[in-house]
């Protein structure tokens, strides 16, 4: 063999070896998934607590690390900043990262709110005298969106009421303490306020089914490097769903999730009543492939654009094929 050819082949071999090693290093890095406390995302905590996530990660040959956030918006910001590979978030909050240039792909639909979010008002307030009411809510969030959907039903606009920007939990606590005439918040604040006789739920997410959607989204760049990370995560989710569905193990799941959420088991059961979990893979696949989710996205995009959350019309990617790969635990 000629010397020059030998040198060329040696360099080629070294180059291929370096590419192989670099790919292994990339794939060996733990996949960081952000999550925060919300009823529909508590099964993710259950996945870790029961070892489902670890077992599935080992089965697929990947490493997945949950990063738990006390502040939900901080998790979304971390994903947008590239500090996370994936994150649990609402369909609305997936839009700004996509608008910022991140290739966002939803691989799992966790749930949609079916009464878990609502407008609490003091007795005596209703649609006939809602004009001029001061309402506490977190601006530019699903709470804000829910309010606008209610205003549409009574022929009012945002200009007809006064919004005081307040985090949802703080709004709920303020209402329970008697320091607000109206708030947009979520469970357990909704049923705790009603149980205490402080007021009632004027409008809730049950009136707009399938519009407040919770997802797990991945940075598609990371998915393309190794699709198995999403397969492992989604498989672990459905292991948790099986535990919740099974009458023999459901109570244990409720106790674990309620404890991690800082609620009593009875309270957590009521919180689940306002949350439509996607317990079965096929239902999630059908939903992600449906026109329904795209119609909802158009409504949410319109809200986001009108409030300056995004500049351009954004189309999210829905990767239902990941769910199709789910197989029973070994």
- For 95-114, the pLDDT digits (tens) are 999 999 999 999 999 999 99
Contact 177/92 with Cβ under 8 angstroms?
Answer: no
Q: Check residue 25 and give its pLDDT.
A: 42
Q: How far apart, in whole angstroms, are the C-alpha atoms of residue 111 and residue 278?
A: 5
Q: What is the pLDDT of residue 312?
A: 82
Closest C-alpha among 175, 156, 60, 68 to residue 118: 175
- What is the Cα–Cα distance from 314 to 305, expressed in whole angstroms? 10
Task: Name the band, by pLDDT with cuts 50, 70 and 90, for residue 9.
Answer: very low
Task: Kindly give, in sequence order, each residue whose CB lies less than 8 Å from that of residue 269, ignoring residues fewer than 6 positions away.
Answer: 254
Domain map of the chain by residue range? Answer: 9-112+211-324, 117-207
**Distance of alpha carbon 123 from alpha carbon 172, whole angstroms:** 16
How long a stretch of residues is the chain? Answer: 330
pLDDT at 21 over 90: no
Q: How many CA atoms lie within 13 A of 258 on its CB side?
A: 18
pLDDT, mean of residues 178-193: 97
C-alpha–C-alpha distance, residues 330 and 56, integer Å: 9
The per-residue pLDDT for 12 is 54
Q: Say how far apart CA 242 and CA 213 lie, in whole Å.
A: 21
Query: What's the number of CA atoms in the CB half-sphere (13 Å) around residue 164?
Result: 14
Distance (Å, rounded) from C-alpha 286 to C-alpha 316? 16
Model confidence at 205: pLDDT above 80 = yes
Q: Say what the pLDDT of residue 328 is.
A: 74
| pLDDT over 70 (residue 256) | yes
What does the pLDDT look like over 53-104, one tens digit per residue? 999 999 999 999 999 999 999 999 999 999 999 999 999 999 999 999 999 9
Q: Which fold has domain 9-112+211-324?
A: D-Maltodextrin-Binding Protein; domain 2 (3.40.190)
| CA-atom Rg of the chain in angstroms | 23
Q: Exposure of 290 by Cβ count < 10 A (0-12 exposed, 13-18 middle, 19+ buried)?
A: middle
pLDDT of residue 113: 96
**pLDDT at position 34 over 90:** yes
Q: How confident is the model at residue 6 (pLDDT cuts 50, 70, 90)?
A: low
One fold for both 9-112+211-324 and 117-207? yes
For residue 34, give Cα distances in angstroms to 31, 85, 194.
Answer: 10, 8, 32
**CA separation for the pair 77, 40 (Å, rounded):** 20
- Return the CATH fold of 117-207: D-Maltodextrin-Binding Protein; domain 2 (3.40.190)
């Amino acid at each position: 063999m000629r010397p020059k050819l030998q040198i060329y082949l040696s360099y080629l071999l070294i180059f291929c070896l370096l590419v192989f090693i670099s790919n292994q290093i990339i794939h060996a890095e733990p996949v960081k998934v952000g999550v925060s406390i919300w009823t529909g995302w508590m099964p993710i905590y259950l996945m870790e607590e029961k070892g489902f996530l670890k077992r599935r990660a080992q089965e697929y040959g990947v490493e997945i690390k949950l990063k738990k956030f006390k502040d939900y918006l901080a998790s979304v910001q971390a994903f947008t900043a590239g500090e996370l590979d994936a994150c649990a978030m609402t369909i609305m909050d997936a839009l700004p990262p996509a608008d910022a240039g991140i290739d966002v792909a939803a691989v799992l639909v966790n749930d949609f709110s079916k009464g878990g979010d609502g407008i609490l008002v003091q007795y005596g307030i209703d649609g006939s005298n809602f004009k001029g009411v001061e309402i506490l809510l977190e601006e530019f969030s699903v709470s804000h969106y829910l309010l606008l959907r209610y205003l549409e039903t009574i022929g009012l606009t945002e200009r007809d009421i006064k919004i005081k920007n307040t985090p949802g939990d703080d709004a709920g606590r303020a209402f329970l303490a008697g320091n607000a005439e109206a708030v947009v918040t979520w469970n357990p604040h909704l049923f705790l306020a009603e149980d205490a006789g402080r007021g009632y739920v004027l409008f809730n997410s049950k009136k707009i089914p399938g519009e407040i959607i919770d997802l797990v989204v991945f940075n598609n760049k990371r998915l393309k490097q190794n699709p198995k990370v999403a397969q492992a995560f989604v498989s672990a989710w459905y292991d948790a769903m099986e535990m919740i569905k099974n009458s023999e193990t459901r109570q244990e799941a409720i106790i674990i999730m309620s404890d991690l959420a800082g609620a009593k088991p009875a309270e957590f059961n009521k919180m689940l009543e306002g949350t439509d979990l996607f317990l079965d893979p096929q239902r999630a696949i059908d939903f992600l492939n449906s026109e329904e989710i795209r119609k909802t996205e158009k409504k949410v995009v319109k809200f986001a654009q009108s409030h300056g959350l995004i500049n351009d019309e954004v189309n999210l990617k829905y990767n239902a094929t990941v769910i199709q790969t789910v197989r029973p635990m070994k």
